Amino acid sequence: MVDPRRWHLDPAVTFLNHGSFGARTRDLLARQRTWQDRIEQQPIEHLGRRVREYLAPSREAVASFLGADPSGLGFVTNATEGVNAALRSVAFRRGDRVVTTTHVYHAVRQTLRRLAVESGIEVVEVPVELPIADADSIVAAIAPWLVAPTRLLLIDHVTSPTAVRMPVERLVPIARRARIETLVDGAHAPGMIEVDLASLDADHYAANLHKWVGAPLGTAILWTHPRVRSRVHPNVTSHFYGEGFTTEFDWQGTRDVSGWIVAVDALKDLGRLGWDQVRAHNHALATWAHAMLVERWGSTPMTPLDGSLLGSIASIELPSAVARRFERVDQLQASLLAEHGIEIPCIEWGGRRFVRISAMVYNRPAQYEKLASAIESMAG
Ligand SMILES: Cc1ncc(COP(=O)(O)O)c(C=O)c1O
């Protein structure tokens, strides 16, 4: 769809892992460097006096992109940081329960583990078994847990190891009716699927812009609903504690804010292609590649082949001959890169081994066919 040379990626690598850290266009990186140079010329003026003025256009643009009210949107460095800040805002009592799923991102699982130790809460990872037939089965697995003493539902919008698009728009209202606080981990969502925070009505939404929006590394947001906003603060307490949500988030100590400043440019950059078109293209490519790989490898699809539970990533179970050849999945990942020049995450989850493909506008169908052949050649 788009010339891959617009991105700063190494053309020698077949890059099928946009999902982990995103990738940036050369234009955007140049724009960020211009801002870094400007700030370095007069740090006091640009960082000290004008930082809030510089962040405002990005906040407005990102808020509008996510259907959110800008006064509840704070910049953070990554989704994990946003999740940590949201969790810290809840005055948990011993015996409170936090519900998530077995698909939760491991860094977030560790955050909950720490919270359990420090606050005496119970964390329940509801099993959502693979393969998943439809959204109804996900709701049916989680809904029974949305009762007392559950205090908070932490649900991924798109799961990391298994690449499942969770029906958050159905789960959040169930939790809300039961007076359970909701934290949606949208690490993958902005730019991958449509996000409308006003209609979602979650209490907290943490998300990365450095993945599918293509913003500079370290660019992410935490959005918080007005009903809980006054008790949410950045993880770093700084000068403006208690002076309002965006005032606090705009200054979290001295840091390089150039990525946050150019988030608006990242939105415009891919936005020139039309965000609906970008999302539709990537979803169609991921859905096609998922079905093609499942067929070539004779794998059981973990989600429906029509792509109804996918965004623009998909996890495909490896043929058992390949899955068994390596003691650990990182050895397979290293071998795919060293021997075939393919960068793709290899994942172990629930006793199964997967590759997780990403589909971005710079990817081509032939790259997934190359992956299919590479894995087939390893089976022999
Ligand atoms: C569901 C989920 N949550 C959180 C994260 C963490 O993102 P970050 O490392 O930017 O905090 C990821 C990253 O892939 C993710 O997939």
Q: How do residues 197-216 score in pLDDT, each as one tens digit? A: 999 999 999 999 999 999 99
| pLDDT grade for 1, boundaries at 50, 70 and 90 | low
- Number of H helices and E strands in the chain, helices first, is 17, 12
pLDDT at site 261: 98
What would the DSSP string read from start to end of 287-335? HHHHHHHHHHHTPPPSS-TT-TT-SSEEEEEPPHHHHHH-SSHHHHHHH
Residue to mutate, 87, 105, 154, ligand 1, most ligand atoms under 8 Å from C-beta: 105
CA–CA gap between residue 183 and residue 170 (Å, rounded) = 14
Query: What percentage of the chain carries pLDDT values higher than 90?
Result: 99
Three-class SS state of 356? strand
Q: Distance, CA 132 to ligand 1 centroid (Å)? A: 22
Q: Distance, CA 42 to ligand 1 centroid (Å)? A: 34
Q: What is the DSSP letter of 165?
A: B
Q: How do residues 255-275 score in pLDDT, each as one tens digit? A: 999 999 999 999 999 999 999
Tokens at 129, concatenated: 């078994």
Q: Which atom of ligand 1 is closest in space to residue 160's alpha carbon?
A: 16
What is the CB neighbour count within 10 angstroms for residue 75? 26
Q: How do residues 304-330 score in pLDDT, each as one tens digit? A: 999 999 999 999 999 999 998 999 999
As a whole number, the mean pLDDT across the chain is: 98
The residue type found at 101 is T
Q: Which domains does the chain carry?
A: 4-24+273-379 (3.90.1150.10), 27-269 (3.40.640.10)
Torsion angle, alpha carbons of 308, 310, 314, 320, to 10: -40
pLDDT at site 164: 98
Q: Which atom of ligand 1 is closest in space to residue 159's alpha carbon?
A: 1
Whether residue 380 has pLDDT greater than 80: no
pLDDT at site 303: 98
Residue to mutate, 192, 208, 312, ligand 1, most ligand atoms under 8 Å from C-beta: 208
User: Ligand 1 site: residues with CB under 6 angstroms?
Assistant: 78-80, 105, 107-108, 156, 160, 185, 187-188, 208, 220
pLDDT at site 158: 99
Q: What is the pTM of this model?
A: 0.98
User: Atom 14 (ligand 1): residue with closest C-alpha?
Assistant: 20
